[in-house]
Structure 1
Amino acid sequence: MWESESESAAVGQQYGGGVLTSTKHGVKTEGFVQRGHSWYVATDIPSDFLVQIGESSFHLHKYPLLSRSGKLNRIIYESRDPDINKIVMDDIPGGPEAFELAAKFCYGIAVDLTAGNISGLRCAAEYLEMTEDLEEGNLIFKTEAFLSYVVLSSWRDSIVVLKSCEKLSPWAENLQIVRRCSESIAWKACANPKGIRWSYTGRTAKISSPRWNSMSMKDSSPSRNQQVPPDWWFEDVSILRIDHFVRVVTAIKVKGMRFELIGASIMHYATKWLPGLISDTALQNDEASSCSISNSSSNASGNSWKGGLHMVVAAPRDDASSSLQAKDHRLIIESLISIIPPQKDSVTCSFLLRLLRMANMLKVAPALVTELEKRVGMQFEQATLADLLIPCYNKSETMYDVDLVQRLLEHFLVQEQTETSSPGRQSFSDKHMGSSNLNAKARVARLVDSYLTEVSRDRNLSLTKFQVLAEALPESARTCDDGLYRAIDSYLKAHPTLSEHERKRLCRVMDCQKLSIDACLHAAQNERLPLRVVVQVLFSEQVKISNALASSSLKGDDESLDHPMVVNRKTLLEGTPQSFQEGWSTAKKDINTLKFELESVKAKYLELQNDMETLQKQFDKMMLKQKHTSAWSSGWKKLTKFTKTTNVENHDVPPHQLPTASEEHNRKTTRRWRNSIS
């Protein structure tokens, strides 16, 4: 175990208690005096050297500076003007504050080293080239010792130093300050929480104005009997800039942190720096479902997280969000996408969809958006309808981005196909959310049906897009098509000008045999549906009843004496809603009426056919009496001969056995009587 906060302070005492002094100095002084933007040395010797840094000017002496700064030595001695008495150093890291401390060190004035000024002073010492070659125990050596033995052994100081490095790029990167602080934070974050003895920012029980600075180390640190939550480090790390946060999370991954905790920290960071992404309540639910953090950490409100680090002034969320521009938000989103753990349930699907919404709005790099869409497809069955209603930010006429949902569904189907080929893999939700009895495709089918119902109200939604999205899932995904029927009916309401062909095409995506009794009753009375679909609905329901009767009768035959009750047609109808029975009775009456009308038409057709044959006979007799046949009558003879031949072929009777006229009349009368009684 590394040193605690109190032990780190003890180590600091070995280095002058955090106070730096120079062993030698050439000018006796009582300190610095500030007058406006100018600094003067409190001594009787007049200053002979001016250092200008921005608006601040330092009236100093050459000898103390040149004896400890290699850069100033080189500038003065390499200058063409030997009497140079002014120099401008606007590019010094740390600015006037860091140079003031370095100048005090050169004069032998005690300098109080803290986590807030050590990084700037270390970079300024490197800039001024205050090495051991000029003086033993120079500023570079002492600041490095303070960083290594005091700062890196302290959790709070490491956070503060890393935060202060935001204004010191690229000096802090080149001097490995960022890397060392990131690794120190990662090492402590991955430690066993039971062994934590240092102070950290915790979630308090609804304290409106906690006085963190007035709390002692003993009071602010968790007691030995107090349980430390696994997410204790979230708030402290979330104050960092996005590039430093990425460095810390990357180092934590290398240390072997659980992926669900890493995902929860990313969600916490996103809700802090991306305003409007997710509410505090939703964040708590996401964290609880993602990593099952302790009750105290998951039930507390996100607003109760206050900056509790020593000398850390975390910007309020509103101020930070107002200062961030779209470019900064885009950078944050792109960085977060790149560090999300690859495991399926490292973050929630709702968080991914909200992140995807902002990514589309801010025009994030297409490759990262595609990667985010694939991540959503991996856990698409966990999505909700509210998260899927993503507005269309391009020039499309539709209100919602239907093409995006289509892509997400395709990624889900690809992922399902991959998991099917690897049956040993189980999803996190199936094991921990008690939903193992629900099929993922069935949940997605219900989600897609609800989405179609919602977007179908958009008059600009084309029939093709609706049909493609509805048919994207395989038929086995839907055990019941009630949701799809509801979406189709909603689309027909919003698009009353559809042609008959388009309405039939729309209804093809629905299987009438998968409709419930209530849906069938509604469809039978729905005037917006094509007549053919209504007939299919009635027929499929009749088939269901027939199959139910048949199966119940077979079951009754096989039942033992202990179960004499047989479900017959009467009991089945009694169990059917009265409204459906009335609708079905009306439909049966209509079908019987159509059958009766069809039989009447057939009888009239046979009667007309008999009358035609009688007229044909009379015409034949007239033709036989005529001696001279005209061309017109010759044609009719041919027709008559053809008719006779056809009758002979049909009845297989030789020509000399044809009946006479009286016998033919009697036969026609008998046939007409038979037709009438049929």
Structure 2
Amino acid sequence: MWDSETDTVGGGEYGNGVMSTSKPGLKTDGFEKKGQSWYVATDIPSDFLVQIGDVSFHLHKYPLLSRSGKINRIIYQSRDIELNKVSLDDLPGGPDAFELAAKFCYGVAVDLTATNISGLRCAAEYLEMTEDLEEGNLIFKTEAFLSYVVLSSWRDSIVVLKSCEKLSPWAENLQIVRRCSESIAWKACANPKGIRWQYTGKAPRSVSSPKWNEMKDSSPSRNSQVPPDWWFEDVSILRIDHFVRVVTAIKVKGMRYELIGAAITHYAAKWLPGLIKEGLDSAPDDENRSWKGGLHMIVAGTKENLQPVQAKDQRMIVESLISIIPQQKDSVSCSFLLRLLRMANMLKVAPALVTELEKRVGMQFEQATLADLLIPCYSKNETMFDVDLVQRLLEHFLVQEQSEGSSPSRQSFSDTKMYDGAQRGGGNTNAKMRVARLIDSYLTEVSRDRSLSLTKFQVLAEALPESARTCDDGLYRAVDSYLKAHPTLTEHERKRLCRVMDCTKLSIDACMHAAQNERLPLRIVVQVLFSEQVKISNAIANTTLKEAGDSHYQPLVSNRKTLLEGTPQSFQEGWASAKKDINTLKFELESVKAKYLELQNDMDTLQRQFDKVTKPKQTSAWSSGWKKLSKLAKMNEGHEHEIGSHGPNVDQTRKTPRRWRNSIS
């Protein structure tokens, strides 16, 4: 409890927050409490009993009739002058507020504080303690304390607004909530350099709460800086409806949307602790863990200020937070939006608010993580994860990207901090690529669910344009995971599933894995091998054009050899059979070559032997006949050469031995 300021108002009647009346109706030494009953310490016996719940007040008619129009009307309408008992169970503030009002009627000094002023003000209004009955009545005095003391203090405004939670609708009708909310908003929007009042997180200077605009020598040193979020903790103790009022007033006064979003996140972390995962900021890349939330009783804030929040109230908190999130992009993180969306689906929040929240997530969907995207499906007989929700989020993202692309003047709020080293002009492309990687990881995770239909998988995989993926390795992992979890798919269904990926966009490692993957259809394996062969050929051609060394060529050959060795058994057997036939033909061809060369050598040997025998000077008839035969043979050979020169293979007979020799070597 914080006492009110030590200012004086109205001629010294508020010294040290003590209120008294200058015209006591009955001399008394005070009130005494015995059990659940209050008695006036006076010699005159009581003649009027006021019952409020289990507490009874033994009082006198005259002090109450002189200042309370409500008591006057009750006695007058009853037409019973001897009426000595009345029940006021619906009095705002309860027995505590009536105790202070009764003391005021008897002229007993009342200590006004920020904790009791709102209840006393509502009780005074209920009892109709107006100026018509007596000048300086309770309504006037409590109203003056609110206006001149409470609203000028930061802490007192917070405490009074917190105490109004049990005074609805009286506090609302008396404008206490509105005035305190505007006072808090005005001070929260003040320049932090000019803040001198006490707030949570700063060491107190004195026992009493200083005024918000108080400038004293005991003010903090110039070196101490007030953080921009100094008001988060104090405002977060408020009930959700009053917090909404404060945030709405702060928006009107033009506070930065980033600070408003941070205040909303801070409030959600306190009142909905299951919404924020511990270590979220320290391990943002932990995509394998998924948050699990549930309905449970939570205690928000400190034990001194806050009360337990039942599960039934969480829905109202979530709906209220959704309605006050600033419309600007990046006012809150995408992770916070997704966790709020998870809880909204779990608590069955209004569909219109859920749709609005889904659109907000779509605006910054590229910032999402896999852990936040794994939202359970709370409908019966459905998949483990809400795939339809992710499909809607992706559609909202694509619509948003299309609208931003059609509006060149519109700039993204997160271009400068979304990606390290990314160019501002390529923000949309980078966002789509990041979303594509996220969707591929999500498909890999949800594909293990056997209740996931092939249609849902295919629709989500094909939702993004082809330009969003430069490599389909992530999509291949998702397809392989789906095939592993659904072994009963038909050949047609497997072909249909594999059509979602492009074999030409697979890396060498993925191609090597796909070539040995028995779950893939045979046609897909052929396409993978063909595309990899084309890549290798292009790589070899490019290497040759660039005059690369052997070091650049060797890895390609090695990878090709490994790839061919990794093909299925059926392909290996076919290739071995074809290779065997080719080797057989080569062997037969080499045999023919060898026989031809052998015959030619024999002919040359015979010719030399004959020349030796026919060396004598005189030629006989036999020798002349042989010369004629050899001359005729040469003429025939020249004729054949002339015919060959007009054919398609020029000098084929003359060059044949050399060509065979080269091929053999």
Q: TM-score, normalised by structure 1?
A: 0.77
Match of 1:412 in 2: 397
Task: Describe how 1:331-410 pairs up with structure 2 within 5 A.
Answer: 331-410=316-395
Match of 2:482 in 1: 491
Within the candidate set 240, 243, 253, 1:242 is matched to: 240
How many angstroms does 1:461 deviate by?
Answer: 1.0
Match of 2:467 in 1: 476
**In structure 2, do the counterparts of structure 1 residues 267 and 145 end up closer, same or farther at CA, with 3 Å as the change threshold?**
same
Structure 2: distance between partners of 1:391 and 1:196: 46
Task: Describe how 1:563-602 pairs up with structure 2 within 5 A.
Answer: 566-567=547-548, 571-576=551-556, 578=558, 580-584=560-564
Match of 1:97 in 2: 96
How many angstroms does 1:533 deviate by?
Answer: 0.6
Structure 1: distance between partners of 2:218 and 2:505: 63
How many angstroms does 1:77 deviate by?
Answer: 2.1
**In structure 2, do the counterparts of structure 1 residues 283 and 44 end up closer, same or farther at CA, with 3 Å as the change threshold?**
farther
- Write the letter of the residue equivalent to 1:356: L
**In structure 2, do the counterparts of structure 1 residues 572 and 285 end up closer, same or farther at CA, with 3 Å as the change threshold?**
closer
CA contact (8 A) 2:47 2:60 kept: yes
Structure 2: distance between partners of 1:285 and 1:86: 66
Within the candidate set 499, 509, 524, 2:515 is matched to: 524
Structure 1: distance between partners of 2:561 and 2:220: 70
How many angstroms does 1:40 deviate by?
Answer: 0.5
**In structure 2, do the counterparts of structure 1 residues 215 and 396 end up closer, same or farther at CA, with 3 Å as the change threshold?**
farther
Structure 2: distance between partners of 1:280 and 1:494: 32
**In structure 2, do the counterparts of structure 1 residues 488 and 280 end up closer, same or farther at CA, with 3 Å as the change threshold?**
closer
Helix, strand or coil at the partner of 1:87: strand
**In structure 2, do the counterparts of structure 1 residues 527 and 112 end up closer, same or farther at CA, with 3 Å as the change threshold?**
same
Structure 1: distance between partners of 2:269 and 2:315: 14
Residues 574-620 of structure 1 show CA distances to partners (whole Å, capped at 9, x for unaligned) of: 233845532236769777657679999xxxxxxxxxxxxxxxxxxxx
- Write the letter of the residue equivalent to 2:561: Q
Structure 2: distance between partners of 1:246 and 1:520: 56
Structure 2: distance between partners of 1:284 and 1:160: 35
Structure 1: distance between partners of 2:442 and 2:136: 70
Worse overlay, 179-188 or 517-526: 517-526
**In structure 2, do the counterparts of structure 1 residues 423 and 540 end up closer, same or farther at CA, with 3 Å as the change threshold?**
same
Structure 2: distance between partners of 1:355 and 1:488: 31
- Write the letter of the residue equivalent to 1:68: R
Structure 2: distance between partners of 1:78 and 1:360: 54
How many angstroms does 1:225 deviate by?
Answer: 2.3
Match of 1:623 in 2: none
Match of 1:507 in 2: 498
Match of 1:225 in 2: 223
Structure 2: distance between partners of 1:590 and 1:43: 116
Structure 1: distance between partners of 2:143 and 2:328: 39
Match of 1:10 in 2: 7
Helix, strand or coil at the partner of 2:487: coil
Structure 2: distance between partners of 1:185 and 1:237: 8
**In structure 2, do the counterparts of structure 1 residues 221 and 341 end up closer, same or farther at CA, with 3 Å as the change threshold?**
farther
CA contact (8 A) 1:271 1:283 kept: no
How many angstroms does 1:476 deviate by?
Answer: 0.4
Percent identical among aligned pairs is 76
Quick check: 1:548 aligned with 2:539?
A: yes
Structure 2: distance between partners of 1:598 and 1:144: 108
Match of 1:201 in 2: 200
Helix, strand or coil at the partner of 2:6: helix
Match of 2:114 in 1: 115
Helix, strand or coil at the partner of 2:349: coil
Helix, strand or coil at the partner of 1:257: coil
**In structure 2, do the counterparts of structure 1 residues 23 and 14 end up closer, same or farther at CA, with 3 Å as the change threshold?**
closer
Match of 2:148 in 1: 149
Match of 2:85 in 1: 86
Structure 1: distance between partners of 2:279 and 2:495: 45
**In structure 2, do the counterparts of structure 1 residues 178 and 285 end up closer, same or farther at CA, with 3 Å as the change threshold?**
farther
How many angstroms does 1:15 deviate by?
Answer: 2.8
How many angstroms does 1:498 deviate by?
Answer: 1.1
Task: Describe how 1:605-624 pairs up with structure 2 within 5 A.
Answer: none
**In structure 2, do the counterparts of structure 1 residues 179 and 470 end up closer, same or farther at CA, with 3 Å as the change threshold?**
same
**In structure 2, do the counterparts of structure 1 residues 365 and 500 end up closer, same or farther at CA, with 3 Å as the change threshold?**
same
How many angstroms does 1:280 deviate by?
Answer: 4.8
Structure 2: distance between partners of 1:589 and 1:254: 75
Task: Describe how 1:659-678 pairs up with structure 2 within 5 A.
Answer: none
- Write the letter of the residue equivalent to 2:400: Q
How many angstroms does 1:398 deviate by?
Answer: 1.3
Quick check: 1:36 aligned with 2:27?
A: no
Residues 424-475 of structure 1 show CA distances to partners (whole Å, capped at 9, x for unaligned) of: 3333332134443560000000000000111111111111111111001110
CA contact (8 A) 2:47 2:58 kept: yes
CA contact (8 A) 2:5 2:16 kept: no
Structure 2: distance between partners of 1:25 and 1:215: 29
Helix, strand or coil at the partner of 2:492: helix
**In structure 2, do the counterparts of structure 1 residues 434 and 473 end up closer, same or farther at CA, with 3 Å as the change threshold?**
closer
Structure 2: distance between partners of 1:68 and 1:350: 58
Structure 1: distance between partners of 2:122 and 2:151: 17
Structure 1: distance between partners of 2:282 and 2:133: 56
CA contact (8 A) 2:315 2:349 kept: yes
Quick check: 1:169 aligned with 2:160?
A: no
Quick check: 1:422 aligned with 2:407?
A: yes
How many angstroms does 1:22 deviate by?
Answer: 1.0
Task: Describe how 1:248-287 pairs up with structure 2 within 5 A.
Answer: 248-282=246-280
Structure 2: distance between partners of 1:434 and 1:397: 36
Helix, strand or coil at the partner of 1:405: helix
- Write the letter of the residue equivalent to 2:440: D
Match of 1:616 in 2: none
CA contact (8 A) 1:8 1:153 kept: no
How many angstroms does 1:480 deviate by?
Answer: 0.3
Structure 2: distance between partners of 1:580 and 1:464: 36
**In structure 2, do the counterparts of structure 1 residues 220 and 365 end up closer, same or farther at CA, with 3 Å as the change threshold?**
farther
Structure 2: distance between partners of 1:434 and 1:491: 31
Structure 1: distance between partners of 2:443 and 2:359: 21
How many angstroms does 1:214 deviate by?
Answer: 7.0
Residues 184-214 of structure 1 show CA distances to partners (whole Å, capped at 9, x for unaligned) of: 000000111111000000189xxxxxx9997
Match of 1:458 in 2: 449
Helix, strand or coil at the partner of 1:22: coil
Residues 300-327 of structure 1 show CA distances to partners (whole Å, capped at 9, x for unaligned) of: xxxxx986xxxx9313xxxx4xx43332
Aligned length: 551
Structure 1: distance between partners of 2:320 and 2:389: 22
Residues 629-662 of structure 1 show CA distances to partners (whole Å, capped at 9, x for unaligned) of: xxxxxxxxxxxxxxxxxxxxxxxxxxxxxxxxxx
**In structure 2, do the counterparts of structure 1 residues 421 and 581 end up closer, same or farther at CA, with 3 Å as the change threshold?**
same
Q: Which has the larger radius of gyration?
A: 2
CA contact (8 A) 2:3 2:113 kept: no
How many angstroms does 1:70 deviate by?
Answer: 1.1
Residues 150-196 of structure 1 show CA distances to partners (whole Å, capped at 9, x for unaligned) of: 00000000000000000000000000000000000000001111110
Structure 2: distance between partners of 1:61 and 1:71: 15
Match of 2:130 in 1: 131
- Write the letter of the residue equivalent to 2:196: R
**In structure 2, do the counterparts of structure 1 residues 219 and 37 end up closer, same or farther at CA, with 3 Å as the change threshold?**
farther
CA contact (8 A) 2:4 2:208 kept: no
Structure 2 residue ranges without an equivalent (≥5)? 211-215, 285-299, 584-665
**In structure 2, do the counterparts of structure 1 residues 533 and 434 end up closer, same or farther at CA, with 3 Å as the change threshold?**
closer
Structure 2: distance between partners of 1:485 and 1:548: 23
**In structure 2, do the counterparts of structure 1 residues 276 and 412 end up closer, same or farther at CA, with 3 Å as the change threshold?**
same
Helix, strand or coil at the partner of 1:10: coil
